[in-house]
Amino acid sequence: MQSRRDFLQKLTGSVIALQISPAIIAASCSNATSHYDGPVLRVAIMGLGSYGTRVAEAMKDCKKAKLVGVISGTPSKIKDWQAKYNIPEKNCYNYETFDQVKNNPDIDAVYVITPNALHHDQVIRVAKAGKHVICEKPMSINAKDGQEMVDACKKANVKLLVGYRMHFEPKTLEIIRMRKAGELGKVLFFQGLCGFTIGDPKQWRLNKQLAGGGAMMDIGIYAINGARYMVGEEPIWVTAQETKTNPEKFKEGVDETIQFQFGFPGGAVASCLSTYSMNNLDRFFLDAEKGYAELYPSTGYGPIQGRTSKGELTQPHVTHQTVQMDEMAGIILEGKQPPVPVDGEEGVKDLKIIDAIFFAAKTGQKVDIKL
């Protein structure tokens, strides 16, 4: 399976020069098949690792969002990105200086793509600088920190969005539409399987201080979030069981495999798996009284494949991050309302559930969830 943590695949295509312009501008779409005249969100990416690179490449095809700045602790990466994406020196910052973005009228928003434990302070600093924030998921390492981020952005009167790319994926949205329209009937059961075998044991994702956990924070969150939007309700209880086969690789506080179960107010139940030690686990299955829906793969970079009791899902694949950034630009600049929320409050809900899962796994108790 292809997770958002995979290393960057080889990408081809010519570099498109970016033209800096006022906050609300008319722009031509970078793919020649259509034209767009409207507001463009000018974005600086914070964290120039593999996923930051993936987002930058995807943004070359955006209509409403453009990469105009970078924030990194590695000077050589900044130089490389400047050359590749035509980024001016005045739009480049490091982790000590990025507060100065408040004085830069050419940047509207910052996309924070750094290790989980850094999100809290970085998002709050960006908000205080008066810029909108997009934060990669999980939004933080616990619900308390997440709520502080939401509060800081509200106080600064800036928007906080979370990188839930699947909330814009066409096949996923078709299943949600079918469920809302009653075509599947009463939802009875959801299964979410999310996992892969992780490599380098020294990477930050296996460092509790930076990641806040292990597989659950990275890949398990897809099953949590997916259970919520596929069932269409918020879970009211959770039970969980943790399995650890390699305590040398997965230290204390870094989960290897957790199975967890949800109950929903309408009577539906869910059974989910989050793991860093098994492959071939990228599957969502929804069972209801009148039919079913399945996505396999369900959350990888794509193409997503799906079918329902009515047949195959045939919506075309578009690069997830391209769609995400265009849609998020619409949310920030035009006040658009997405079919599934991607705001900070949505991120806090997932963090509250993660907190409950960890507690349930530790204590063996059935834990009530109040969102």
Catalytic residue from among 137, 159, 171, 352: 137
Tell me if residue 222 is catalytic: yes
| The three-state (H, E, C) secondary structure of the chain, written as one string | CCCCCCCCCCCCCCCCCCCCCCCCCCCCCCCCCCCCCCCCEEEEEECCCHHHHHHHHHHCCCCCEEEEEEECCCHHHHHHHHHHHCCCHHHEECCCCHHHHHHCCCCCEEEECCCHHHHHHHHHHHHHCCCEEEECCCCCCCHHHHHHHHHHHHHHCCCEEECCHHHHCHHHHHHHHHHHCCCCCCEEEEEEEEECCCCCCCCHHHCHHHHCCCHHHHHHHHHHHHHHHHHCCCCCEEEEEEECCCCCCCCCCCCCEEEEEEECCCCCEEEEEEECCCCCEEEEEEEECCCEEEECCCCCCCCCCEEECCEECCCCCCCHHHHHHHHHHHHHHHCCCCCCCCEHHHHHHHHHHHHHHHHHHHHCCCEECCC
Catalytic residue from among 222, 229, 276, 301: 222
Tell me if residue 90 is catalytic: no
**Which residues are known to be catalytic?**
137, 222
